[in-house]
């Protein structure tokens, strides 16, 4: 069912950050040493997966979307297996898995190519839960090797791997039934590597902190807000949400479920709490909340509900049990129907976003014969269209937040990534952004994007820095790009 629900995504193209990561994948194929240079964070596994896609599919989006969908479905399979290990009945395992796979709050990583890092990280954590030994079972060489490989892969996937000690603590407590003191000691040992990574990261951040770590303490409200959204108490607010009665009520509900699960010693509730809380910790100061950031917490929340439902069914007597099972079945069917209807709107939103990007790509390809490929370009956005604002103001699915690149054409695609992508089938070159001073007195052209297409225009100055200053004086935001080199062997 989930494959059918997500099948429309296979017809979509690339959007937004996808293009920057595709440009990075191309540079990695040209020079594998670039994997050692942080890009968009410390995420070499994502670069490798996209590079493999590029070798197999070129820049045709179908193969990339297929890989995302397979990864999404694979996480669903791992979730089903982990729920079974936690002693949930098969029907509840299936219901929880279906709700996660078909939720609008887990859609982005299944649909946006570069967001596959979320499901890649989730697959590592779910796999870790499956290889973790049970009560009174030793760490065999096979289990230890599997856990070590998954931990290493998570570290290469995204910076959020630093919460790994929290999962180790949770798995020791609720999968292996280790005493608390021993579990804390084990987690402290595991924490040495994430702690060292975090120190180095803050000393030399791979992403400029001012780029998106700007939410401050107000961003803490996203955790109870996500709870309220999952409980259908309010609509998602992608920007910084305020904490109101819905968030307070949702927090009380979760606390009650956790107490009930603890009293009943249902370890699925404990593991679910880890999957809900831990992914939020590295992104607490990020000032927005999209389905990329709700994907893993939603899985944890559903695990808590699944553990609670299992204990309620066991608690009541047979005459009441049948009615309770029927009521839970109705709730499941209702929620799944609501999710599917919302996803239909989300697919429409994705199609509109895709159409906006395809329009820009068509304009770019129409200009390629005139595009200077051997010199520095001062590029400037002169168009007035704002497709992202139009999309935000008329969404058909859940509320959304799009990153508006105010210096780039239509606010959609980064200049060097746009030019690189359009030229890739022709052998390049790959373009890169540089500071004006780096271009110095090199010969240059001025490329502008207007509504409907591109145009080479007469320079206002005799040097790149002077040209940039002249455009800035007029209130525009120019950029400087240049070809890196021809792609060898293509």
pLDDT in tens, 421-458: 999 887 778 999 999 998 877 889 999 999 999 999 99
Rg (the chain; Cα; Å): 25
145 is a domain residue: yes
456 is a domain residue: yes
Same domain, 168 and 275: yes
Same domain, 19 and 154: yes
pLDDT tens string 187-239? 999 999 999 998 988 887 767 655 555 555 566 788 899 999 999 999 988 88
Q: Which two tokens stand for residue 135?
A: 């009560």
Query: How far apart are alpha carbons 35 and 25 in whole angstroms?
Result: 9
Query: How far apart are alpha carbons 356 and 265 in whole angstroms?
Result: 51
Q: What is the pLDDT of residue 153?
A: 96
Name the pLDDT band for 488 (thresholds 50, 70, 90): very low
pLDDT (average), residues 160-168: 95
82 is a domain residue: yes
* 216 CB neighbour count, 10 Å cutoff: 11
DSSP 202-250: HHS-SS-HHHH---GGGGGGHHHHHHHHHTTSS---SS-----HHHHHH
Check pLDDT > 50 for residue 489.
no
376 is a domain residue: yes
Residue identified by tokens 């000032």 is: 287
Give percent of the chain with pLDDT exceeding 90: 75
Residue identified by tokens 């209702």 is: 334
In terms of phi and psi (left: phi > 0; alpha: psi -120 to 50; beta: otherwise), the region of 440 is left
Name the pLDDT band for 486 (thresholds 50, 70, 90): very low
Q: What is the pLDDT of residue 213?
A: 55
Query: How far apart are alpha carbons 15 and 39 in whole angstroms?
Result: 18
* End residue of a domain, out of 295, 315, 335: 315
Same domain, 311 and 383: no
Same domain, 190 and 286: yes
Query: Helix-strand-coil percent breakdown of the chain, rounded to 5?
Result: 65, 5, 25
Average pLDDT, the chain: 91
341 is a domain residue: no
* 279 CB neighbour count, 10 Å cutoff: 24
Same domain, 209 and 304: yes
Cα–Cα distances (Å) from 171 to 13, 20, 166, 475, in that order, read: 39, 37, 9, 56
Q: What is the pLDDT of residue 239?
A: 80
Cis status of the peptide bond prior to 461, with omega within 30 of 0: no
Helices (H), 86-220: 90-101, 108-111, 116-131, 141-157, 164-174, 180-190, 192-203, 209-212
Please state whether the predicted TM-score (pTM) of the whole model is above 0.85.
Answer: yes
Determine the 3-state secondary structure of 154 from DSSP.
helix
Q: Which two tokens stand for residue 48?
A: 């490798």
Check pLDDT > 50 for residue 67.
yes
344 is a domain residue: no
* End residue of a domain, out of 258, 291, 315: 315
Same domain, 66 and 211: yes
Same domain, 80 and 193: yes
Same domain, 212 and 73: yes
* End residue of a domain, out of 315, 337, 353: 315
Q: Which two tokens stand for residue 314?
A: 């066991």
336 is a domain residue: no
Same domain, 376 and 478: yes
β-partners of residue 480 are 378, 434
C-alpha dihedral sign at 347, 352, 353, 357: positive
CB 161 within 8 A of CB 120: no
Same domain, 199 and 97: yes
Q: How many domains does the chain have?
A: 2
Q: What is the pLDDT of residue 214?
A: 52
Structural domain that includes position 309: 2-315
Same domain, 133 and 9: yes
């Amino acid at each position: 069912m989930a494959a059918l629900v997500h099948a429309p995504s296979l017809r979509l193209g690339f959007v937004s950050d996808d293009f920057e990561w595709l440009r990075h994948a191309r540079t990695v194929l040209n020079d594998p040493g670039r994997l050692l240079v942080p890009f968009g964070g410390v995420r070499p596994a994502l670069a490798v997966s996209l590079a493999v896609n590029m070798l197999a599919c070129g820049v045709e989006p179908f193969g990339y979307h297929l890989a995302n969908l397979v990864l999404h479905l694979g996480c669903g399979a791992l979730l089903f297996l982990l729920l079974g290990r936690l002693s949930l009945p098969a029907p509840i395992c299936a219901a929880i898995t279906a709700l996660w796979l078909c939720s609008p709050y887990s859609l982005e990583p299944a649909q946006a190519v570069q967001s596959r890092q979320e499901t890649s990280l989730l697959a590592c954590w779910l796999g870790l839960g499956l290889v973790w030994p049970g009560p009174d079972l030793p760490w065999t060489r096979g289990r230890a090797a599997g856990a070590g490989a998954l931990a290493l892969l998570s570290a290469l996937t995204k910076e959020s791997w630093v919460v790994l000690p929290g999962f180790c603590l949770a798995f020791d407590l609720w999968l292996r039934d280790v005493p608390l003191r021993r579990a804390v000691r084990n987690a402290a040992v595991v924490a040495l590597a994430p702690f060292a990574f975090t120190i180095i990261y803050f000393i030399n951040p791979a992403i400029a902190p001012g780029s998106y770590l700007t939410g401050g303490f107000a961003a803490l409200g996203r955790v109870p807000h996500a709870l309220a959204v999952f409980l259908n108490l309010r609509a998602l607010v992608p920007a910084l949400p305020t904490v109101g009665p819905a968030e307070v009520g949702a927090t009380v509900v979760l606390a009650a479920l956790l107490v009930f699960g603890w009293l009943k010693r249902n370890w699925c509730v404990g593991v679910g709490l880890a999957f809900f809380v831990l992914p939020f910790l590295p992104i607490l100061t990020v000032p927005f909340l999209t389905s990329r950031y709700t994907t893993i917490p939603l899985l944890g929340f559903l695990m808590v509900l699944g553990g609670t439902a299992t204990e309620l069914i066991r608690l009541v007597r047979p005459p009441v049990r049948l009615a309770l099972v029927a009521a839970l079945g109705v709730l499941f069917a209702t929620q799944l129907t609501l999710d599917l209807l919302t996803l239909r709107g989300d697919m429409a939103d994705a199609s509109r976003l895709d159409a906006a990007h395809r329009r820009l790509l068509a304009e770019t390809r129409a200009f390629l014969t005139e595009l200077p490929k051997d010199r520095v370009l001062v590029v400037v956005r002169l168009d007035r269209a704002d497709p992202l604002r139009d999309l935000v103001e008329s969404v058909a699915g859940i509320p959304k937040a799009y990153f508006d690149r105010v210096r780039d054409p239509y606010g959609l695609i980064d200049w060097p990534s746009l030019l690189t992508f359009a030229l890739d089938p022709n052998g390049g070159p790959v373009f890169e952004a540089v500071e004006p001073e780096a271009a110095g007195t090199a010969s240059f052209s001025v490329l502008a994007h207007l509504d409907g297409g591109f145009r080479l225009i007469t320079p206002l100055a005799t040097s790149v820095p002077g040209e940039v200053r002249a455009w800035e004086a007029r209130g525009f935001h120019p950029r400087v790009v240049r070809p890196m080199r021809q792609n060898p062997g293509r």
